[in-house]
Chain A
Amino acid sequence: MLILSGKEALKKQIGHTSTFEKAVNSFIKSKKHYKTKFFYYDRSNRFKVKKVKKSAQLIRNFILKIEKKWGNIDFLLLVGGDKVVPFFRLDNPCDDSDKKVLSDNPYASKDNDFLIPDRICARIPDNKDANFIIKQLKKLDKTGKKSFGISAKIWKKASENVYRQIGKPKDLKISPPVNSNTFKAQWLQNKNFLYFNLHGTKVSANWYGQNKGKYPVALGPGNIHNASGVVASEACYGAYILNKSHKNAIAMKFLNEKEIYGFCGSTTIAYGPVAPPSSEADLFVKYFLEYLKQGMTLGESFKNAKLDFARKALRRQGFLDDDDKKTLLQFVLYGDPTFRLKFHGKR
């Protein structure tokens, strides 16, 4: 596994990097099953790969050069948000209001076909706080046995089709009637999977339900206390973290929780079906949860979900359409990609 960050940019976000570096070293020692190295792309390194400036393309080239010297990199962990390791700004395949798609896919690809990942790639955002990053590196599985899921009412059937991978469809919460005032924080506690199929937007910290033209706030950062498990969200902009923190982004709020082990979501406008069969975001998240449940790591589940998603779309239609391509590009994984849920109950 390669852990990669930018020293100068990280310093600007979190101040001194010494405690972070110590934590990374402990993390590496704890990962006995992984051959792991940590590099700053803007510092000299033992492979004598020339350091680069903070540019997504240059950093990707840096990774490819390290790989040439070191050998196959199966896991890549980017440390820092967009101001440290920039997201790629890719052309949006869809005709919608996103000018570009923020994506980590090119970091996961060895060739110029960025849709299909060759390696696992995850990111630990910085939240402008060294302790936030360190917290992500020290998380230990204390998850519960049950799952939680919530859907906008209009997508109830579609969401049930996803949720049945991890729980009983009848247990899926629906918004409305659920709203942020009736949402109980304990619903998110002692869980292993947390699934969300709600509306999201770039400008608001909240996620929304929908029924008959009404869009209640279903969940806000204030609803999250002592949550646990792995989060999978289909909300538009659910993983959009540019200039955001745990105070105004649900993704960051979740990651700031001690027992949230990873967050999988979309950086831009996401799409899904109105009813089964699952496609786009629904299908991707369904595969992601399936693999996690099989006991694969976060990173393996995320990468395999992208591969299976593309295969399924090709078999079904014979091609990837614009929505499928955007789905593949926009979903990102935050957290330690080697994290594996330990199941206390039956799988």
Chain B
Amino acid sequence: MIDSRKINRIKRKISKEFPEFKGVEPKITEKLINPQDSIYRKLSLGRAKRIRRIFRLKFQRTIETVDQVEINRILTVTLDEKGEIMKITESR
């Protein structure tokens, strides 16, 4: 699993840059991604790469719009196997 110091660092970053997720405890998952041979083949992109390991921190909360509609907001931080941030995405 990923280093807890790295997780805490990311949680601080998210709290600072995305205040609406402040205090939200992320769901942490680890995923092994097998080489996606068929996709590479279909796109004529040569050979798929090795098995990759990624981590995802999913921050989730429900917000209410001005007209009282509830929306499930999701912010996901994807980390590579070294624990470096690959990308941060948000639900639209």
Contact = CB atoms under 8 A, between A and B. Distances in A.
Nearest to B80: A317
Contacts of B19: 212-213
B21 to A, nearest CB: 10
A269 B66 contact: no
A208 B74 contact: no
B89 A274 contact: yes
Interface string B50-92: 0010101010000111110111101110100000001111111
Interface stretch (A69-77, A127-135, A165-173, A199-207): A199-207
B1 interface: no
Contact of A320 (B36, B69, B76): B36
Given A199-B71, A318-B49, A320-B36, A215 B89 contact: no
A271 B71 contact: no
B39 A115 contact: yes
B66 A198 contact: no
B45 A279 contact: no
A97 B72 contact: yes
Nearest to A270: B92
Contact of B76 (A203, A271, A319): A271
A59 interface: no
B9 interface: no
B52 A318 contact: yes
Interface residues of B, number: 42
A97 B64 CA distance: 16
B91 A236 contact: yes
B87 A96 contact: no
B29 interface: yes
B48 to A, nearest CB: 8
Contact of A216 (B63, B66, B86): B66
B52 A319 contact: yes
B38 interface: yes
A116 B43 contact: yes
8 contacts: A201-B70, A215-B64, A215-B71, A216-B66, A272-B92, A279-B89, A320-B39, A322-B56
Given A97-B72, A271-B89, A271-B92, 15 more contacts: A96-B91, A113-B39, A116-B42, A155-B90, A198-B92, A200-B92, A201-B69, A203-B69, A269-B74, A270-B91, A272-B90, A279-B89, A314-B45, A319-B33, A322-B56
Interface of B: 17-20, 27, 29, 31, 33, 35-36, 38-40, 42-43, 45, 48-49, 52, 54, 56, 58, 63-67, 69-72, 74-76, 78, 86-92
